[in-house]
Structure 1
Amino acid sequence: MQVLHVCSEMFPLLKTGGLADVIGALPAAQIAGGVDTRVLLPSFPDIRKGITDAQVVTRRDTFAGPMTLLYGHFNGVGIYLIDAPHLYERPGSPYHDTNLHSYTDNVLRFALLGWVGSELACGLDLFWQPDVVHAHDWHAGLAPAYLAARGRPAKSVFTVHNLAYQGLFYAKHMAEIQLPGEFFNMHGLEFNGQISFLKAGLYYSDHITAVSPTYAREITESQYGYGMEGLLTQRHREGRLSGILNGVDEKIWDPAHDLLLTAAYDRDSVEAKAENKRQLQIAMGLKVNDKVPLFAVVSRLTSQKGLDLVLEALPGLLEQGGQLALLGAGDPVLQEGFLAAAAEHPGQVGVQIGYHEAFSHRIMGGADVILVPSRFEPCGLTQLYGLKYGTLPLVRRTGGLADTVSDCSLENLADGLASGFVFEDSNALSLLRAIRRAFVLWSRPSLWRYVQRQAMSMDFSWQVAAQSYRELYQRLI
């Protein structure tokens, strides 16, 4: 079985979010499981630098201009690159310029990504053709549409990592992207009078997956469906929508072998975590004290992530004697709010604006509780890292958070299922109640250690997800 992933980023070559972590780990896990898997990416400068053995496969003149298809390897995975400097060699992120304005030709930049994915299924590389084209998020959403236009030479899977990002473009661009005009209707890629790359993926793919079972159900509801809930409900009824939980790349996230930590530890030596906490407290300007619980946030600072609730609940957390360490960037109002809290509560609140992959490991290894109070969360990787590192997640019951964290209720403690703290309602009062439960458990050190070991023994390896995808591909073929 030959599988092609079509996507826009891949860790550690280029990362703006969790999608990169998935593509950085899933293909390798699939190869280890016996699936012949390759990845197609735009040749963004950071990606191109990391593929040192790239060779020319073919050259084509396309609707988006000339492009060269390259093929090389990264970490044992075969990588196709769409080399089109006029489209991809730019400063800023893959999606917008340094002023955060979306590139005006994104419609062509990412239509070409989908088109090349489809053409590989039609023999663009004479020596390798996928049986399944697996497209990820709106950037690759046109791949299933191009496959449909070409008579479906391969089966297609479309994975929703975040339904909120839809890839919307003016209808006039239909003339530029080489798809049949009849595809632009409500039973196609038209959405409120615009082209939706996301809807193209949802409508034309043979199967849709979401990155957790709960999120797969949630996106069929109006609260989470962003106008796509009708289509998704229909797909769900047809058995063409399912949820497969993301995993953790254990080569990168493993406290027993993490060289970014001061002290390595595992579930049988979790006491060694204390030295990481001490170093984190020093690094964040917090009072060094192993007797108080250290809560942490590692996140984009957005309302989706519920970080405004953390600001609102922060006085209650500090009154109980807790500390907060935050690493993140985003909404300027939230940034200013957390910086003001750090200035007002020196020694109790430490804030670092920005994102540093290495420092996120130090926070995960040193904190006692990781806060993930999201309003919605397709899967969430932060809480999975927390479980792996014995840093108990405190989460809202939504999406992948609901699927991965079990509350420290008396019943769950008795049944050996407890792994963190879960709250229901998206408000500061509900969050504060969960924080209070964390303090109660903290006051019982032996019970805290018991829950830490439970959390660290959970299996969220990519091998589990890889097997689920393999079974899905086999059903489609």
Structure 2
Amino acid sequence: MRILAVASEIFPLVKTGGLGDVTGGLPPALNAAGARTTTIVPGYPAVLGALPDAVAVHRFPDLFGGPATILRGTFPQAAGASLDILAVDAPHLYARAGNPYLGADGREWSDNGLRFAGLGAAAAAIGTGIVPDLAFDIVHAHDWQGAMAVVYLHFHDGPRPGTVLTVHNLAFQGRYPAALFPRLGLPDSAFILNGLEYYGDVSFLKGGLSYADRITTVSPTYAREITGPENGMGLDGLLRHRAGVLSGILNGIDDATWNPATDTLIPGRYGRGRLGRRDANKTALRQRMGLDEVPDALLIGVVSRLTSQKGLDMLVDQIDGLVAAGMQLAVLGSGDPDLEDAFVSAAEWHLGSVGCVIGYDETVAHLIQAGSDALLVPSRFEPCGLTQLYALRYGAIPVVARVGGLADSVIDANEAALVAGVATGIQFWPTTAEGLQAALHRLLALWRDRPVWDRVQRNGMAADVSWRGSASRYVALYQSLLAERPAREEAS
């Protein structure tokens, strides 16, 4: 079985967030499960620079304003594995330094609609077999940036592969003025209520949701949540209509990169049987964040975008009480300027108890996971979340809102779970300041009962948060889709 993944980023070639981690971590697990996966991505400078030996396999005379070449290459990974990559080398669309989506002024590139329509059109063409030795059974598109591949394949006149669209965050929909539609090269019948049209505009994500053979999200709970108006982001009616092909598959993590026993970014490497070595990381984290060395203080970490969606405004309101209770806080992230200023001010006001690094630093992110006692994720909605999975792996007890993938991946330390010996963290609901405050009180009580704390910590570290189980579920999904497309199976 051959899979063509369509994504706007892939770790470690290019990454702005969790999407890159998923598209970089899932293919090796799919390969091991029998679904040979190639990923097609835009030919950003960072991508082309990582594939010096790539070879041209196809050329488009014009791809939305200029010529484009499909380059085929591999990127080596650990343990002899590699990522199979197709790069869309279209300088007029992708030869821009920095962020894949934003210019130096922080605003979206004005031609993002054409840039990611170009990715989708190239992926669809490859998916239909224009390159003789590149045949695919499934085209698996990720988020709105990849969704147009599904749309172009739907309107392809001839045999086509099955299509899957994974929604990583329904809030981002690739919405553009209707004036873009004539430039997309699609029939007029695509611009309808049950297609790309969305309140008079064009929505790439809505088109993908309308035409995909299968729709997945990144957790079972989020798959249910988005069919209701509270979390449906205006697309809940469409998703209820397509509920028969909608499912949720929880994300995993790259457990080779995120492994405390081998992590070269932390000073003290450890495992479940050597938790004492974790102390070196807590000491290093305190030094990096300017926190006082207080042996019995509970240290809480945060690695997040600083936005209200992530619930970080609620945390700001809890900092005084958190410090008064003897806890410490280490924050890494960037986002809303007001929240950035609030955390910087808190670090200045509570010198030695609150530390803050604005921006993103991979080394600091690993150090927070390895050195914090607990990891806080108070999101108001969260399709899956990865930081709580890293926390489980690293023995930082996750404290999470009971939403989306957070609810699916953390077992609350309630009385029944503690008696059964299965608790891995703390959940709270509702996602309010009062709910968060109660969760912090529960966390502190757990910290003071060290035998129970140790059991919860070790339970989390024993949880399988890898891609293996999720990859097997994706393979089962692909197989069910292919079983409905016998003509395609015979052709391939």
Name the TM-score class by shorter chain: over 0.9
* Equivalent residue number for residue 77 of structure 1: 83
1:43 is aligned with what amino acid? G
Counterpart residue number, 1:389: 394
| 1:375–1:426 CA contact under 8 A, matched in 2 | yes
| Offset at residue 92 of structure 1 (A) | 3.3
Using the alignment, how far apart are the partners of 1:177 and 1:113 within structure 2? 12
Partner residue in 2 for 1:403: 408
Q: How far apart are 1:422 and its partner, in Å?
A: 0.8
The yes-or-no answer on 1:212 pairing with 2:213 is no
| 1:147 equivalent in structure 2 | 153
Confirm or deny: 8 A CA contact 2:378 2:401 kept in the other structure. Answer: yes
Question: Residue 74 of structure 1 aligns to which amino acid in structure 2?
Answer: F
Using the TM superposition, give the Cα deviation of residue 63 of structure 1 relative to its aligned residue in structure 2, in angstroms: 4.5
Report the counterpart of residue 8 of structure 2 in structure 1.
8
Q: Counterpart of 2:359?
A: 354
Matched, 1:431 2:436: yes
Q: For 1:23-422, what aligned pairs fall within 5 Å after superposition?
A: 23-64=23-64, 65-75=66-76, 76-151=82-157, 153-236=160-243, 239-422=244-427
- 8 Å contact kept, 2:266–2:363: no
Counterparts of 1:307 and 1:72, CA distance in 2: 41
Q: Which amino acid in the other structure matches residue 429 of structure 1?
A: E
Whether the 8 Å CA contact 1:313–1:429 is kept in 2: the answer is no
Q: Between 201-210 and 311-320, report the one with greater CA deviation.
A: 311-320
- 2: distance between equivalents of 1:450 and 1:298? 24
Deviations 1:192-241 (A, max 9, x none): 111100001101100000000000000001011111001101111xx200
In the alignment, the residues of structure 1 paired with residue 127 and residue 333 of structure 2 have an alpha-carbon distance, to the nearest angstrom, of: 40
- d(CA) in 2 for partners of 1:444, 1:275: 22
Report the CA distance between 1:80 and its aligned residue.
0.4
Partner secondary structure for residue 169 of structure 2: coil
Give how far 1:158 is off: 0.1
* SS at 2:465 equivalent: coil
3-state SS, counterpart of residue 92 of structure 2: helix
Structure 1 runs of 4+ off > 2 angstroms? Answer: none
Separation (CA, whole Å) in 1 of partners of 2:75 and 2:178: 37
Q: Could you tell me how far apart the structure 2 residues matched to 1:227 and 1:351 are? A: 35
SS of the residue corresponding to residue 73 of structure 2 reads strand
Q: Assess if the C-alpha contact under 8 Å between 1:406 and 1:422 holds in 2.
A: yes
1:163-191 deviations in Å (ceiling 9; x for gaps): 00000111111111111111101011111
Deviation, structure 1 residue 439: 0.5
Amino acid at match of 1:68: T
How far apart are 1:271 and its partner, in Å?
2.1
CA distance in 1, matches of 2:130, 2:83: 19
Distance in 2, Cα, partners of 1:357 & 1:19: 16
Give the conservation status (yes or no) of the 8 Å contact 2:168–2:217: yes
Whole-angstrom CA distance in 1 between matches of 2:324 and 2:413:
22
Counterpart Cα distance in 2 of 1:92 and 1:303: 26
Alpha-carbon separation, structure 2, partners of 1:62 and 1:122: 18
Paired letter, 2:181:
M
1-side partners of 2:252 and 2:52: how far apart? Answer: 28
CA distance in 2, matches of 1:235, 1:62: 35
Identity %, equivalent residues: 47
SS in 2 for 1:37: strand
Q: Give 3-state SS (helix, strand or coil) of 1:269's partner.
A: helix
Q: Secondary structure at the match of 1:434?
A: helix
The answer to whether residue 476 in structure 2 is matched with residue 471 in structure 1 is yes
Contact 1:10–1:21 (8 Å) recurs in 2 = yes
* Distance in 2 separating the partners of 1:23 and 1:62: 27
CA contact (8 A) 2:7 2:145 kept: yes
Once residues 113 and 317 of structure 1 are traced to their aligned partners in structure 2, the CA distance between those partners, rounded to angstroms, is 47
* One-letter identity of the residue aligned with 2:43: S
Aligned partner of residue 223 in structure 1, secondary structure: coil
Alignment correspondent of 1:446: 451
Q: CA deviation at 1:290?
A: 2.4
Partners in 2 of 1:266 and 1:125 — Cα distance?
A: 47
Distance 1:386 1:398 in 2: 17
In 1, are the aligned partners of 2:309 and 2:379 still within 8 Å (CA)? yes
Listed as ranges, the gaps of 5+ residues in structure 1 are none
Which amino acid in the other structure matches residue 60 of structure 2?
A: R
TM-superposed CA distance for 1:473, in Å, is: 0.3
> Could you tell me how far 1:62 is from its partner in structure 2?
3.0
**Unaligned runs of at least 5 residues, structure 2:** 77-81, 483-492
Q: Structure 2 CA distance, aligned partners of 1:125 and 1:79? A: 15
Q: Which residue of 2 aligns with 1:458?
A: 463
SS at match of 1:295: strand
1:17 positional shift:
0.9
Query: What secondary structure does 1:34 align onto?
Result: coil
TM-score normalized with structure 1 length: 0.98
Deviations along 1:261-292, whole A, 9 cap, x unmatched?
11111111112211110111111110112211
Output the CA distance in 2 between the equivalents of 1:377 and 1:234. Answer: 23
Deviation at 1:115, TM superposition (A): 0.8
Instruction: Give me the TM-score of the superposition, normalised by structure 2.
Output: 0.95
One-letter code of the match for 1:225? Answer: G
C-alpha distance in structure 2 between counterparts of 1:92 and 1:12, whole Å: 15
Question: Could you say if the C-alpha distance between residues 46 and 63 of structure 1 is closer, same or farther in structure 2, counting changes exceeding 3 Å?
Answer: closer
